[in-house]
């Protein structure tokens, strides 16, 4: 596999030339004194060095060794603890953390790029700081000042890690039926009892303590999701002076043996009367968890992008070097026995598809990150509300579409290698295995589609969607004639999505089955349309510069490929949506 190189040029292009993020940061007082274009560039350059130099080399060995469980203790693959210390000492765990407690205070638009780099380098490794950052986010937003002071500095510093304990053996998507209990104690603490499964980083040897955020129910809690509370439960209790005390009644019962991400410990966690403290108010746990969810679900989407980027880097290097057969138009490498496979139409189709999906995904994830920054930091209530509603709308798209097309990109990368793509030493088969989980965890992609169609479209009466559609139309209608080749198909795509959204709103009123039946294809139509908007924006930023730098010429070429070969996918998807739900219910359960 090719050595990983962070795509810094493309990241800078997206941030500075497409979105001009420095203008947004200047408008947000909380960020204006913290970050500018130069600061962002320096941070990304250093992140590129540490991910490529310290983390990427552990990707294959970490997959082959995996995590090991012995009598409740979990050891990560060789090199992981040392690399984690290097990563933590650089401040990368707290790159988006609150400066009051030792974080860097960078906007999500920056931390999103860092996340892409670490997941491209080594997805298993990247999950440990990712889960810690998510736990920190919930604590910072909802915990008492005492709890924040007690836990956040060491978590941002990477001295302690964090985990999110939601899922139980019988309760995955339906968290309202969890059984983990929290019993109030006289000193204000709680005794937490129950079992959680699929807990990423629930136990490991990277840090001296792990701070678990645990969903549980109080004895008098109402039934369903309204009765869920959130608790902070440290692996090792923390004394009043901040030193570590006794081991809490938390243990790892086992780790899962998985298809991919083998260097990430996926744990069964047992809480046997463990001591914990409530975060926020009783029965408000799901709201506290959802503060983290928008960031984490975007982060999982970025994992899809990251794997696709890593696959592309190896595939394009291989395609330039591997010689097989002659080009259809005649020999290209006349001094060799055959031509490099990059001359063949199907190989070019796959490479171009990967590049278009990766670069479109980088722009889209950055766009969603900017909405998160606006929602968090804007002091204008109207601006903040619009951003919050856009985040709600776009988060399921980002999670599901980025990971669906991320798998597609990795499969293309594997295919380009031919038989070597199936062989471990080339790395492509690992990427296919690793990225597959991204479509499943943090809410399966089917659930994301149902969330988009049911909650964000139908339940809002299309109000959230209108923000996005109006923005796209304003851009398209204001574009000059020189962008017509990109804007005209964008106009047609958003008109199609308008019509499909209206269809969904109408059909959903009459038959609830239509929402679920349409949801996955609808999300994909939305995703390709959103990417069309991103590619039109990138074409605008590149146009007129193609003579100066081949980077811009390449960008325009990929944009033309996207509109010609990938955007038309929306037509078959739209037809599938409009076919309705009837054919899904023609068989009785016994007939399957």
Give whole-number Cα distances, 16 to 19, 211, 421, 558, in Å.
6, 37, 36, 19
Structure tokens at 159: 């001295």
Beta bridge partners of 252: 269
Count CA atoms closer than 13 A to 169's CA, side-chain side.
Answer: 6
> Residue 545 phi/psi, 5° resolution?
-110, 0
Nearest residue to 370 (alpha-carbon basis) of 381, 362, 382, 358: 362
Are the CB atoms for 244 and 208 separated by under 8 Å? Answer: yes
- In the three-class reduction of DSSP (H, G, I as helix; E, B as strand; rest coil), residue 253 is classed as strand
- Residue from 203, 388, 389, 442 carrying the catalytic annotation: 442
Are the CB atoms for 100 and 296 separated by under 8 Å? Answer: no
DSSP 192-232: EEEEEEEEETSS-SSSSEEEEEEEEB-TTPPSSGGG-EEEE
- In the three-class reduction of DSSP (H, G, I as helix; E, B as strand; rest coil), residue 27 is classed as helix
Nearest residue to 51 (alpha-carbon basis) of 2, 119, 112: 119
- Residue identified by tokens 């000193």 is 187
Count of helix runs (H) and strand runs (E) in the chain: 19, 11
Structure tokens at 57: 């080399």
Active site (annotated) includes residue 82: no
Are the CB atoms for 93 and 125 separated by under 8 Å? Answer: no
Residues 6 or more apart in contact with residue 79 via CB below 8 angstroms = 57, 58, 61, 62
| E strand or H helix that includes residue 190 | strand 190-200
Structure tokens at 403: 């990971």
Active site residues: 442
């Amino acid at each position: 596999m090719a050595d990983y190189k962070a795509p810094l040029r493309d990241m800078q292009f997206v941030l500075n030339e497409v979105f001009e993020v420095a203008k947004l940061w200047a408008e947000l007082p909380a960020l204006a004194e913290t970050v500018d274009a130069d600061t962002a560039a320096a941070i990304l350059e250093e992140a590129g060095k540490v991910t490529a130099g310290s983390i990427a080399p552990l990707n294959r060995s970490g997959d082959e060794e995996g995590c090991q469980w012995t009598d409740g203790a979990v050891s990560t693959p060789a090199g992981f603890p040392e690399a984690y210390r290097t990563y933590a000492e650089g401040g990368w765990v707290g790159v988006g953390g609150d400066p009051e407690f030792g974080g860097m205070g960078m906007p999500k638009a920056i931390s999103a790029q860092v996340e892409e780099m670490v997941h491209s380098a080594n997805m298993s490794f990247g999950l440990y700081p990712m889960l810690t950052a998510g736990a920190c986010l919930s604590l910072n937003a909802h915990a008492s000042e005492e709890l924040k002071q007690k836990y956040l500095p060491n978590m941002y510093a990477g001295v302690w890690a964090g985990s999110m304990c939601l899922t139980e053996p019988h309760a995955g998507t339906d968290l309202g039926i969890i059984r983990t209990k929290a019993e109030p104690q006289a000193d204000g603490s709680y005794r937490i009892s129950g079992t959680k499964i699929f807990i990423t980083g629930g136990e490991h040897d990277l840090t001296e303590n792990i701070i678990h955020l645990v969903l549980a129910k109080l004895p008098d809690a109402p039934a369903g999701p309204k009765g869920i509370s959130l608790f902070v439960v440290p692996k090792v209790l923390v004394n009043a002076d901040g030193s570590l005390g006794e081991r809490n009644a938390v243990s790892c019962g086992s780790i899962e043996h998985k298809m991919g991400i083998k260097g990430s410990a996926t744990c069964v966690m047992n809480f046997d009367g463990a001591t914990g403290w409530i975060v926020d108010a009783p029965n408000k746990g799901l709201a506290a968890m959802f503060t983290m969810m928008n960031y984490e679900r975007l982060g999982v989407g970025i994992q899809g992008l990251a794997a696709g980027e890593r696959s592309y880097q190896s595939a394009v290097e291989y395609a330039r070097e591997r010689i097989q057969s002659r080009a259809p138009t005649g020999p290209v490498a006349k001094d060799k026995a055959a031509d490099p496979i990059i001359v063949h139409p199907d190989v070019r189709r796959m490479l171009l598809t990967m590049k278009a999906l990766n670069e479109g995904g980088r722009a889209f994830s950055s766009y969603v990150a900017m909405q998160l920054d606006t929602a968090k930091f804007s002091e204008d209530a109207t601006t903040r509300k619009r951003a919050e509603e856009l985040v709600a709308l776009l988060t399921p798209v980002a999670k599901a579409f980025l990971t669906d097309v991320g798998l597609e990109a990795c499969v293309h990368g594997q295919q380009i290698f031919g038989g070597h793509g199936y062989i471990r030493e080339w790395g492509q088969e690992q990427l296919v295995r690793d990225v597959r989980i991204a479509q499943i965890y943090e809410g399966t992609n089917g659930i994301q589609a149902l969330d988009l169609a049911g909650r964000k479209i139908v339940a809002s009466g299309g109000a959230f969607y209108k923000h996005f559609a109006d923005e796209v139309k304003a851009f398209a209608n204001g574009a000059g004639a020189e962008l017509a080749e990109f804007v005209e198909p964008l106009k047609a795509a958003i008109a199609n999505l308008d019509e499909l959204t209206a269809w969904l709103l109408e059909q959903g009123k009459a038959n609830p089955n239509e929402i679920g039946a349409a949801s996955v294809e609808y999300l994909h139509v939305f995703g390709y349309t959103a990417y069309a908007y991103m590619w039109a924006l990138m074409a605008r930023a590149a146009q007129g510069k193609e003579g100066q730098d081949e980077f811009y010429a390449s960008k325009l070429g990929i944009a033309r490929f996207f509109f010609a070969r990938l955007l038309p996918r929306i037509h078959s998807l739209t037809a599938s949506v409009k076919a309705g739900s009837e054919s899904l219910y023609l068989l009785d359960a016994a007939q399957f």
